[in-house]
C-alpha cells in the first residue's frame, strides 16, 4: 500500500482535535489506520468555525499534510481564508489505494449498517448546519441564507440515500428450463472518484457520495480548488459519524495541479467509477482518460437553460419564477436560466415587471450581510465573462434595461443585469454566462420558441410558463433537456432525478435512480436443480 513519507506541514496551527467518532471495527486486511491528531486552521476575526476548518487531505481516516499548500481566498474581499494541502498525482493514487483497501470491508457491511452511518452523518450536518453554512459563504461568496439552504439540501441527500441503501433489490427471472433458476444481483462497483465544482461545494458532494456509500462503494473526492474547506468539513463530520477509515477520502489541490490529479483518478486501474460535475469541456477530457480502462462514468456538465414565457402565461408568476431561477447564487448555477424567450404579446409587460423586481428585490453585498441577496462572483475570470457577454450584446444592438457593469463594491461584484432586444447571434444567446445576466429574446410562435430553445448542443434544464394545457404537454415533451420546470423556476429536489441530455451529461443523480450509478448488475444462472 502506498503511503506518505516525511511530508512537510502546511503551516497551519494545531488546535484541539475534535472528538473521534465511533464506528465499525476494521476487518483484518482491509482497514488499518489508527487515530491521528486532527489539524485545523484558525481564521482569526472571521468568526468561522475552527473545529471544522481542516487544511490537510483526509486519506484512510487520517489528516495528512502535503509538501506544499495553496491559498483559499474570500471572493468578496480577496482575503486569504487559509492554506490547504496541495495534493498531486502521488497523493491522489495513495487515496485511491486507501479507498480500494477499505472497499473489501465496506462492501460486506450490511445495508442497514451503511444506512446507520449515513444517518449519523446527516444528523451531524444538521447539528452543525450554521457553521457549515458560514464556511460555504466564506469560500464561495453566496449569501448566508442561500448557504444555509444548501446545507439542508446537502444533508437531505445523506438522509435520502441512508433510506435507499436498504432498498437495493434484485430479481428472479422465470426461465423455460425446469432445472434452472435465473437471479439478478446488484453489487457495488468499487472505488468511485468524485470530482466536484465550487458553486455548490457541499451539495455536489453529498449527492454523489451519499449514493456511492449507500451502494457499498468507497470514494475519493477532489473538491474544486476555490472551495476545499466544505469537503474537508464534511470529512471531519463523516469521521465523527464513525464512517470507517478509507471509505470517504478527500484530496484537495490547487488549480495548477488539478489536471494531473484528475488524470490520475481517471486512469488509476483501482478506480471503477468516475462522477464529475463541471464544464462540458473538462468532462470530455475526463471521458477520454476514463475510456482507456472503460470505467463507468456519470457526468453533469454545462447547461444553457431556456426560460420561455408564452402569451397565455401569468406574468407575475413568470417574473417570480425568473427571479428565482436566474439570480440564485448570483446566476452561478448549472440549471439557472440563461436565455429568456418571451412571446411578443406579453414581452413588454414581462420586461417591465422583471426590471421592477430586480430593482426592488435584489441587493448586492457581502454574503454575511443580512440583507444581501447577491454575493460576489467566484473570481475575476467569472466577472470578465459577464462583462464580455454584456459588451458583445450591446455592440450588436441589445438594449440595456438595468445593470450592465461591475458593482461599486468592486472586486468580484457585478450588477444584476437585464437586456432586451437580444438576438440569437449574440454570445449570451449561444454560451452559458454563469453570472447575473438576463438576456430577453422576443419570439412570435411556439414553433419558433422551441427551435431557439433546442438549437444548442447541451440540454440540462428548461423552463416555460403557460396556462394552455395542450401547449404545456407539447412543449414539455419537445424541449430537449433532462429536466423541465412548468410554471416553476426551482426544480431541484433530492427525491427527483437530476441530469441532462446531449452534451449536458450522462446518468442521473439523486432520486431512486441515483444509487444505480454505483451498482453493477450481475446475472446468476443456477442450474442442476
Q: Are residues 224 and 294 in the same domain?
A: yes
| C-alpha torsion angle, residues 339, 345, 347, 349 (rounded to 10) | -140
Dump pLDDT digits (tens) for 435-475. 999 999 999 999 999 999 999 999 999 999 999 999 999 99
Report the pLDDT value the prediction gives residue 46, as an integer from 0 to 100. Answer: 52
Specify if 382 maps to a domain: yes
Specify if 355 maps to a domain: yes
Specify if 333 maps to a domain: yes
Distance CA 245, CA 402 (A): 53
pLDDT exceeds cutoff 80 at 348:
yes
pLDDT exceeds cutoff 50 at 403:
yes
Domain span at 399? 305-493
Specify if 100 maps to a domain: yes
pLDDT more than 90, % of the chain: 90
Torsion angles phi and psi, residue 119, rounded to 5: -65, -40
3-state secondary structure 139-182: HHCCCHHHHHHHHHHHHHHHHHHHHHHHHCCCEEECCCCCCCEE
The C-alpha cell at 188 is 457495488
pLDDT exceeds cutoff 90 at 145:
yes
Distance CA 172, CA 185 (A): 9
User: Residue 103 class from Cβ within 10 Å (0-12 exposed, 13-18 middle, 19+ buried)?
Assistant: buried
Q: Which residues pair with 192 in a beta bridge?
A: 219, 273
Strands 461-465 and 296-300: unpaired
Q: Are residues 382 and 345 in the same domain?
A: yes
Average pLDDT over residues 152-167: 98
Distance CA 359, CA 376 (A): 18
Distance CA 503, CA 254 (A): 27
Q: Are residues 349 and 237 in the same domain?
A: no
Distance CA 169, CA 497 (A): 19
Q: Are residues 277 and 357 in the same domain?
A: no
Q: Residue 442, SS3?
A: strand
Report the pLDDT value the prediction gives residue 142, as an integer from 0 to 100. Answer: 97
How big is the chain by its Cα radius of gyration, in Å?
24
pLDDT band at 290 (very low <50, low <70, confident <90, very high): very high
- Which of 294, 325, 338 lies closest to 485, judged by CA? 325
pLDDT exceeds cutoff 70 at 414:
yes
Which DSSP string corresponds to 14-31? P-PPPPPPP-PPPPTTT-
Specify if 31 maps to a domain: no
Dump pLDDT digits (tens) for 221-274. 999 999 999 999 999 999 999 999 999 999 999 999 999 999 999 999 999 999
- CB neighbours of residue 381 within 10 Å: 9
Provide the CATH number for the domain around residue 422. Answer: 3.40.309.10
Provide the CATH number for the domain around residue 156. Answer: 3.40.605.10
pLDDT exceeds cutoff 50 at 503:
yes
Q: Are residues 364 and 254 in the same domain?
A: no
Torsion angles phi and psi, residue 482, rounded to 5: -85, -20
Q: Are residues 85 and 135 in the same domain?
A: yes
Report the pLDDT value the prediction gives residue 11, as an integer from 0 to 100. Answer: 35
* Catalytic hit among 139, 300, 446, 480: 300
- Which of 456, 381, 451 lies closest to 411, judged by CA? 381
Cβ atoms of residues 14 and 37 within 8 Å: yes
Q: Are residues 275 and 337 in the same domain?
A: no
Distance CA 382, CA 436 (A): 11
Q: Are residues 249 and 312 in the same domain?
A: no
Task: Give the residue carrying C-alpha cell 414581462.
Answer: 350
Average pLDDT over residues 364-393: 97
pLDDT band at 48 (very low <50, low <70, confident <90, very high): confident
Cβ atoms of residues 517 and 352 within 8 Å: no
Specify if 10 maps to a domain: no
Into how many domains does the chain fold? 2
Assess whether 300 carries a catalytic annotation. yes
Distance CA 101, CA 3 (A): 13
pLDDT more than 70, % of the chain: 91
Cβ atoms of residues 287 and 494 within 8 Å: no
Report the pLDDT value the prediction gives residue 212, as an integer from 0 to 100. Answer: 98
- Which of 276, 335, 299, 307 lies closest to 502, judged by CA? 299
Distance CA 382, CA 400 (A): 20
Cβ atoms of residues 303 and 431 within 8 Å: no
Mean pLDDT of the chain: 91
Q: Are residues 81 and 218 in the same domain?
A: yes
Number of alpha carbons in the 13 Å side-chain half-sphere of residue 431: 15
Q: Are residues 168 and 85 in the same domain?
A: yes
Specify if 471 maps to a domain: yes
Q: Are residues 347 and 433 in the same domain?
A: yes
Q: Are residues 127 and 235 in the same domain?
A: yes
Specify if 14 maps to a domain: no
pLDDT band at 199 (very low <50, low <70, confident <90, very high): very high
The C-alpha cell at 529 is 436443480
Assess whether 415 carries a catalytic annotation. no
User: Residue 147 class from Cβ within 10 Å (0-12 exposed, 13-18 middle, 19+ buried)?
Assistant: buried
Strands 69-73 and 80-85: antiparallel
Number of alpha carbons in the 13 Å side-chain half-sphere of residue 480: 16
- CB neighbours of residue 179 within 10 Å: 9
* Catalytic hit among 10, 253, 334, 428: 334
Amino acid at each position: 500500500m502506498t503511503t506518505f513519507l516525511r511530508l512537510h506541514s502546511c503551516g497551519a496551527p494545531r488546535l484541539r482535535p475534535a472528538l473521534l467518532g465511533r464506528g465499525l471495527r476494521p476487518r483484518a486486511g482491509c482497514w488499518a489506520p489508527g487515530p491521528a491528531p486532527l489539524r485545523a486552521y484558525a481564521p482569526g476575526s472571521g468568526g468561522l468555525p475552527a473545529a471544522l476548518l481542516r487544511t490537510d487531505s483526509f486519506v484512510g481516516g487520517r489528516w495528512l499534510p502535503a509538501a506544499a499548500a495553496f491559498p483559499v481566498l474570500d471572493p468578496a474581499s480577496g482575503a486569504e481564508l487559509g492554506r490547504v494541502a496541495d495534493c498531486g498525482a502521488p497523493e491522489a493514487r495513495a487515496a485511491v489505494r486507501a479507498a480500494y483497501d477499505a472497499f473489501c470491508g465496506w462492501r460486506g457491511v450490511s445495508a442497514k449498517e451503511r444506512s446507520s452511518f449515513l444517518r449519523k452523518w446527516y444528523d451531524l450536518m444538521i447539528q452543525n448546519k450554521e457553521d457549515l453554512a458560514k464556511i460555504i459563504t466564506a469560500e464561495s461568496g453566496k449569501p448566508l441564507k442561500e448557504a444555509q439552504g444548501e446545507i439542508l439540501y446537502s444533508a437531505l441527500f445523506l438522509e435520502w440515500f441512508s433510506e435507499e441503501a436498504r432498498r437495493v433489490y434484485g430479481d428472479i427471472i422465470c426461465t423455460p428450463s425446469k432445472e434452472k433458476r435465473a437471479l439478478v444481483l446488484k453489487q457495488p462497483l468499487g472505488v468511485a472518484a468524485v470530482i466536484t465544482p465550487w458553486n455548490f461545494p457541499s451539495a455536489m458532494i453529498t449527492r454523489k457520495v451519499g449514493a456511492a456509500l449507500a451502494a457499498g462503494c468507497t470514494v475519493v473526492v477532489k473538491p474544486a480548488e476555490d472551495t476545499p474547506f466544505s469537503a474537508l468539513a464534511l470529512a471531519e463530520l463523516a469521521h465523527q459519524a464513525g464512517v470507517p477509515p478509507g471509505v470517504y477520502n478527500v484530496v484537495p489541490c490547487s488549480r495548477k495541479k488539478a489536471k494531473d490529479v484528475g488524470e490520475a483518478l481517471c486512469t488509476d486501474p483501482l478506480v471503477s467509477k468516475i462522477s464529475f460535475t463541471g464544464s462540458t469541456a473538462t468532462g470530455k477530457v475526463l471521458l477520454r482518460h476514463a475510456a482507456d480502462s472503460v470505467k463507468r462514468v456519470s457526468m453533469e456538465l454545462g447547461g444553457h437553460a431556456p426560460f420561455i414565457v408564452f402569451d397565455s402565461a401569468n406574468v407575475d408568476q413568470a417574473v417570480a419564477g425568473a427571479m428565482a431561477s436566474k439570480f440564485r447564487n448570483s446566476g452561478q448555477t448549472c440549471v439557472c436560466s440563461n436565455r429568456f424567450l418571451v412571446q411578443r404579446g406579453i414581452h413588454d409587460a414581462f420586461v417591465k415587471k422583471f426590471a421592477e423586481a430586480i430593482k426592488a428585490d435584489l441587493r448586492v453585498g457581502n454574503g454575511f450581510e443580512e440583507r444581501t441577496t447577491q454575493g460576489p462572483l467566484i473570481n475575476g475570470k467569472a466577472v470578465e465573462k459577464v462583462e464580455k457577454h454584456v459588451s458583445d450584446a450591446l455592440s450588436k444592438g441589445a438594449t440595456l434595461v438595468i445593470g450592465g457593469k461591475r458593482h461599486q463594491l468592486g472586486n468580484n461584484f457585478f450588477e444584476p443585469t437585464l437586456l432586451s432586444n437580444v438576438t440569437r447571434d449574440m454570445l449570451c444567446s449561444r454560451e452559458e454566462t454563469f453570472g447575473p445576466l438576463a438576456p430577453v429574446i422576443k419570439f412570435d410562435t411556439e414553433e419558433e420558441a422551441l427551435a431557439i430553445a433546442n438549437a444548442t448542443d447541451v440540454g440540462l434544464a428548461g423552463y416555460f410558463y403557460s396556462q394552455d394545457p395542450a401547449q404545456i404537454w407539447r412543449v414539455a415533451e419537445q424541449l430537449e433537456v433532462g429536466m423541465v420546470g412548468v410554471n416553476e423556476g426551482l426544480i431541484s429536489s433530492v427525491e427527483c432525478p437530476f441530469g441532462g441530455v446531449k452534451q449536458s451529461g450522462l446518468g442521473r443523480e439523486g432520486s431512486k435512480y441515483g444509487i444505480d450509478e454505483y451498482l453493477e448488475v450481475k446475472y446468476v444462472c443456477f442450474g442442476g436443480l
